[in-house]
Amino acid sequence: MSDHGRFIWYELTAPDVAGAKAFYGEVVGWTAADMPTPGMAYSLWQADGVGVGGLMAPTEEMKAAGVQPNWLGYVAVDDVDAAAARTTALGGKVERAPEDIPGVGRFAIISDPHGAVMAIMTPAPMDTPPPGLPPEASGQAGWRELYAGDLETDFAFYAGLFGWRKDSDMDMGDMGAYRLFSNQDGQVGGMMTRPPEVPAPYWLYYFRVGDIDAAADRVKIAGGQVLNGPMEVPGGDWIVQVQDPQGALFALVGRKGT
Protein backbone atom coordinates (compact mmCIF):
# COMPACT_ATOMS: atom_id res chain seq x y z
CA MET A 1 0.00 0.00 0.00
CA SER A 2 1.24 3.48 -0.84
CA ASP A 3 2.05 5.86 2.01
CA HIS A 4 0.68 8.79 0.00
CA GLY A 5 -1.32 11.03 2.36
CA ARG A 6 0.03 9.49 5.57
CA PHE A 7 1.53 11.63 8.33
CA ILE A 8 5.08 10.36 8.83
CA TRP A 9 7.09 12.90 10.86
CA TYR A 10 6.82 15.85 13.25
CA GLU A 11 9.62 18.38 13.57
CA LEU A 12 10.21 21.10 16.13
CA THR A 13 12.26 24.17 15.31
CA ALA A 14 13.46 25.94 18.47
CA PRO A 15 16.42 28.25 19.11
CA ASP A 16 17.19 26.74 22.52
CA VAL A 17 17.73 23.11 21.57
CA ALA A 18 18.94 22.05 25.01
CA GLY A 19 15.91 23.70 26.63
CA ALA A 20 13.55 21.92 24.21
CA LYS A 21 15.16 18.56 24.96
CA ALA A 22 14.66 19.11 28.69
CA PHE A 23 11.06 20.34 28.37
CA TYR A 24 9.73 17.63 26.06
CA GLY A 25 11.69 14.96 27.89
CA GLU A 26 9.91 15.96 31.08
CA VAL A 27 6.45 16.51 29.57
CA VAL A 28 6.14 13.81 26.91
CA GLY A 29 8.88 11.43 28.00
CA TRP A 30 10.91 11.59 24.79
CA THR A 31 14.64 11.14 24.62
CA ALA A 32 16.64 13.10 22.04
CA ALA A 33 19.35 11.33 20.07
CA ASP A 34 21.75 13.60 18.20
CA MET A 35 22.02 12.71 14.53
CA PRO A 36 25.14 13.69 12.54
CA THR A 37 23.87 15.95 9.76
CA PRO A 38 26.16 17.89 7.39
CA GLY A 39 25.96 21.62 8.01
CA MET A 40 23.51 21.52 10.90
CA ALA A 41 22.67 19.95 14.24
CA TYR A 42 19.65 17.66 14.24
CA SER A 43 18.21 15.44 16.95
CA LEU A 44 15.69 12.61 16.78
CA TRP A 45 12.81 12.48 19.25
CA GLN A 46 12.46 8.89 20.40
CA ALA A 47 9.75 7.06 22.35
CA ASP A 48 10.84 3.66 23.63
CA GLY A 49 13.77 3.86 21.25
CA VAL A 50 11.57 4.47 18.19
CA GLY A 51 11.98 7.70 16.23
CA VAL A 52 8.81 9.80 16.23
CA GLY A 53 10.09 13.24 15.21
CA GLY A 54 12.95 15.67 15.00
CA LEU A 55 14.41 18.79 16.60
CA MET A 56 16.54 21.49 15.06
CA ALA A 57 17.61 25.08 15.64
CA PRO A 58 16.40 27.64 13.08
CA THR A 59 18.69 28.11 10.09
CA GLU A 60 19.94 31.54 9.11
CA GLU A 61 17.38 31.51 6.30
CA MET A 62 14.60 30.86 8.83
CA LYS A 63 15.86 33.61 11.11
CA ALA A 64 15.93 36.08 8.22
CA ALA A 65 12.34 35.12 7.35
CA GLY A 66 11.21 35.65 10.95
CA VAL A 67 10.22 32.01 11.51
CA GLN A 68 9.13 31.51 15.11
CA PRO A 69 9.44 28.29 17.16
CA ASN A 70 6.98 25.84 15.68
CA TRP A 71 5.98 22.25 15.01
CA LEU A 72 5.97 21.13 11.37
CA GLY A 73 4.16 17.99 10.21
CA TYR A 74 5.37 15.89 7.27
CA VAL A 75 2.99 14.01 4.97
CA ALA A 76 4.23 11.31 2.60
CA VAL A 77 3.63 11.65 -1.13
CA ASP A 78 4.48 9.29 -3.96
CA ASP A 79 6.27 11.98 -5.99
CA VAL A 80 7.21 15.18 -4.19
CA ASP A 81 7.83 17.14 -7.40
CA ALA A 82 4.42 16.21 -8.78
CA ALA A 83 2.80 16.98 -5.42
CA ALA A 84 4.47 20.39 -5.32
CA ALA A 85 3.12 21.17 -8.79
CA ARG A 86 -0.33 19.98 -7.74
CA THR A 87 -0.13 22.17 -4.63
CA THR A 88 0.06 25.24 -6.85
CA ALA A 89 -2.67 23.98 -9.18
CA LEU A 90 -5.00 23.48 -6.20
CA GLY A 91 -4.47 27.04 -4.94
CA GLY A 92 -1.68 26.47 -2.43
CA LYS A 93 1.91 27.70 -2.48
CA VAL A 94 5.31 26.04 -2.55
CA GLU A 95 7.24 27.77 0.23
CA ARG A 96 10.43 25.78 -0.33
CA ALA A 97 11.07 23.97 -3.61
CA PRO A 98 11.68 20.22 -3.58
CA GLU A 99 15.18 19.18 -2.58
CA ASP A 100 16.96 16.03 -1.50
CA ILE A 101 18.06 15.02 1.98
CA PRO A 102 20.73 12.39 1.25
CA GLY A 103 19.72 8.99 2.56
CA VAL A 104 16.39 10.30 3.89
CA GLY A 105 14.25 11.41 0.97
CA ARG A 106 13.10 14.38 -1.06
CA PHE A 107 10.95 17.05 0.56
CA ALA A 108 9.27 20.41 0.05
CA ILE A 109 7.54 22.93 2.28
CA ILE A 110 4.05 23.98 1.17
CA SER A 111 1.15 26.06 2.40
CA ASP A 112 -2.57 25.63 1.76
CA PRO A 113 -4.77 28.31 0.13
CA HIS A 114 -4.99 30.24 3.40
CA GLY A 115 -1.38 29.88 4.52
CA ALA A 116 -1.22 26.91 6.92
CA VAL A 117 2.21 25.32 6.46
CA MET A 118 3.30 21.67 6.33
CA ALA A 119 5.99 19.56 4.66
CA ILE A 120 5.61 16.88 2.01
CA MET A 121 8.16 14.12 1.50
CA THR A 122 8.93 11.15 -0.67
CA PRO A 123 11.03 8.99 1.66
CA ALA A 124 14.06 7.18 0.30
CA PRO A 125 13.46 3.46 -0.30
CA MET A 126 14.46 1.27 2.63
CA ASP A 127 15.27 -2.44 2.65
CA THR A 128 14.01 -2.68 6.22
CA PRO A 129 11.32 -0.16 7.27
CA PRO A 130 11.95 1.40 10.69
CA PRO A 131 9.89 0.03 13.59
CA GLY A 132 6.67 1.79 14.49
CA LEU A 133 4.72 2.30 17.68
CA PRO A 134 1.19 1.11 18.44
CA PRO A 135 -1.38 3.89 17.89
CA GLU A 136 -2.04 4.19 21.63
CA ALA A 137 1.64 4.25 22.67
CA SER A 138 2.83 7.15 24.80
CA GLY A 139 4.90 9.63 22.79
CA GLN A 140 3.15 8.83 19.51
CA ALA A 141 1.22 11.48 17.61
CA GLY A 142 -2.43 10.84 18.42
CA TRP A 143 -4.27 13.53 16.41
CA ARG A 144 -3.74 16.31 13.88
CA GLU A 145 -5.90 19.42 13.73
CA LEU A 146 -6.14 22.26 11.25
CA TYR A 147 -7.42 25.70 12.20
CA ALA A 148 -8.31 26.53 8.62
CA GLY A 149 -8.77 29.82 6.86
CA ASP A 150 -11.97 28.35 5.42
CA LEU A 151 -13.02 24.77 6.10
CA GLU A 152 -14.54 23.94 2.73
CA THR A 153 -11.82 25.53 0.62
CA ASP A 154 -8.98 24.03 2.58
CA PHE A 155 -10.52 20.56 2.92
CA ALA A 156 -10.92 20.46 -0.86
CA PHE A 157 -7.22 21.34 -1.18
CA TYR A 158 -6.06 18.52 1.09
CA ALA A 159 -8.50 16.02 -0.39
CA GLY A 160 -7.21 16.85 -3.85
CA LEU A 161 -3.56 16.70 -2.81
CA PHE A 162 -3.53 13.71 -0.45
CA GLY A 163 -6.79 11.88 -1.11
CA TRP A 164 -8.06 12.49 2.43
CA ARG A 165 -11.70 11.58 2.96
CA LYS A 166 -14.42 13.33 4.93
CA ASP A 167 -15.84 11.17 7.72
CA SER A 168 -18.38 13.49 9.31
CA ASP A 169 -19.01 17.03 10.53
CA MET A 170 -19.64 17.78 14.19
CA ASP A 171 -21.82 20.82 14.87
CA MET A 172 -19.84 23.19 17.10
CA GLY A 173 -22.58 25.83 17.33
CA ASP A 174 -21.30 29.35 16.74
CA MET A 175 -17.87 27.91 15.91
CA GLY A 176 -19.27 26.07 12.88
CA ALA A 177 -18.47 22.53 11.79
CA TYR A 178 -15.59 20.38 12.98
CA ARG A 179 -14.73 17.95 10.19
CA LEU A 180 -13.25 14.55 10.93
CA PHE A 181 -11.08 13.17 8.12
CA SER A 182 -9.43 9.86 7.28
CA ASN A 183 -6.55 8.45 5.29
CA GLN A 184 -5.40 4.85 4.87
CA ASP A 185 -4.79 4.68 8.65
CA GLY A 186 -8.43 5.49 9.39
CA GLN A 187 -9.58 8.62 11.18
CA VAL A 188 -6.47 10.68 11.87
CA GLY A 189 -7.52 14.29 12.38
CA GLY A 190 -9.98 17.12 12.24
CA MET A 191 -10.28 20.62 10.85
CA MET A 192 -12.45 23.66 11.33
CA THR A 193 -12.57 27.28 10.22
CA ARG A 194 -10.41 29.15 12.70
CA PRO A 195 -12.24 31.27 15.26
CA PRO A 196 -11.56 35.03 15.29
CA GLU A 197 -9.20 34.82 18.26
CA VAL A 198 -6.83 32.56 16.29
CA PRO A 199 -4.69 35.05 14.33
CA ALA A 200 -3.66 32.79 11.44
CA PRO A 201 -4.36 29.30 10.05
CA TYR A 202 -2.08 26.56 11.40
CA TRP A 203 -1.74 22.86 12.09
CA LEU A 204 -1.76 21.64 15.71
CA TYR A 205 -0.29 18.25 16.61
CA TYR A 206 -1.39 16.15 19.58
CA PHE A 207 1.05 13.79 21.30
CA ARG A 208 -0.14 10.92 23.43
CA VAL A 209 0.62 10.74 27.14
CA GLY A 210 -0.75 8.68 30.01
CA ASP A 211 -2.65 10.62 32.67
CA ILE A 212 -3.71 13.96 31.19
CA ASP A 213 -3.86 15.84 34.51
CA ALA A 214 -0.35 14.76 35.43
CA ALA A 215 0.86 15.79 31.97
CA ALA A 216 -0.77 19.23 32.29
CA ASP A 217 0.98 19.67 35.63
CA ARG A 218 4.31 18.74 34.05
CA VAL A 219 3.79 21.38 31.36
CA LYS A 220 3.45 24.10 34.00
CA ILE A 221 6.27 22.83 36.19
CA ALA A 222 8.60 22.70 33.18
CA GLY A 223 7.81 26.32 32.22
CA GLY A 224 5.11 25.90 29.57
CA GLN A 225 1.55 27.23 29.54
CA VAL A 226 -1.73 25.34 29.45
CA LEU A 227 -3.91 27.33 27.03
CA ASN A 228 -7.02 25.12 26.99
CA GLY A 229 -8.18 22.09 28.97
CA PRO A 230 -8.02 19.44 30.14
CA MET A 231 -11.29 18.74 28.37
CA GLU A 232 -12.96 15.52 27.29
CA VAL A 233 -13.35 14.63 23.62
CA PRO A 234 -15.45 11.88 21.99
CA GLY A 235 -14.07 8.41 22.59
CA GLY A 236 -13.04 8.92 26.19
CA ASP A 237 -9.78 10.78 25.63
CA TRP A 238 -8.92 14.11 27.26
CA ILE A 239 -6.83 16.87 25.70
CA VAL A 240 -4.85 19.92 26.68
CA GLN A 241 -3.60 22.55 24.25
CA VAL A 242 -0.34 24.10 25.37
CA GLN A 243 2.57 26.35 24.53
CA ASP A 244 6.14 25.37 25.26
CA PRO A 245 8.57 27.80 26.96
CA GLN A 246 9.86 29.02 23.58
CA GLY A 247 6.41 29.69 22.15
CA ALA A 248 5.72 26.61 20.00
CA LEU A 249 2.10 25.42 20.12
CA PHE A 250 1.23 21.73 20.50
CA ALA A 251 -1.24 19.56 22.36
CA LEU A 252 -1.44 16.42 24.47
CA VAL A 253 -4.01 13.65 24.46
CA GLY A 254 -4.46 11.10 27.24
CA ARG A 255 -6.82 9.62 29.76
CA LYS A 256 -8.00 10.47 33.25
CA GLY A 257 -6.42 8.60 36.13
CA THR A 258 -4.08 6.36 34.11
110 plus 148 within the same structural domain: no
Tens-place pLDDT, residues 154-206:
999 999 999 999 999 998 888 889 999 999 999 999 999 999 999 999 999 99
* Domain containing residue 230: CATH number: 3.10.180.10
pTM of the model: 0.94
Rg (CA), the chain: 18
As a whole number of angstroms, the distance between CA 56 and CA 34 comes to: 10
Domain that holds residue 240: 141-255
Q: Say if 128 falls within a structural domain.
A: no
145 plus 77 within the same structural domain: no
- Give residue 127's pLDDT band: very low, low, confident or very high (50, 70, 90): low
Tens-place pLDDT, residues 50-94:
889 999 999 888 888 888 999 999 999 999 999 999 999 999 999
Q: Say if 113 falls within a structural domain.
A: yes
Collapsed DSSP state (helix, strand, coil) of residue 27 = helix
For the chain, the distance separating the N- and C-terminal CA atoms, rounded to the nearest angstrom, is 35
Count of domains for the chain: 2
Say what the pLDDT of residue 130 is: 59
Residue type, 7: F
As a whole number of angstroms, the distance between CA 218 and CA 239 comes to: 14
As a whole number of angstroms, the distance between CA 45 and CA 126 comes to: 20
Residue ending a domain, choose from 89, 123, 157: 123
Mean pLDDT (the chain) is 92
% of the chain with per-residue pLDDT over 70: 95
Q: Say if 50 falls within a structural domain.
A: yes
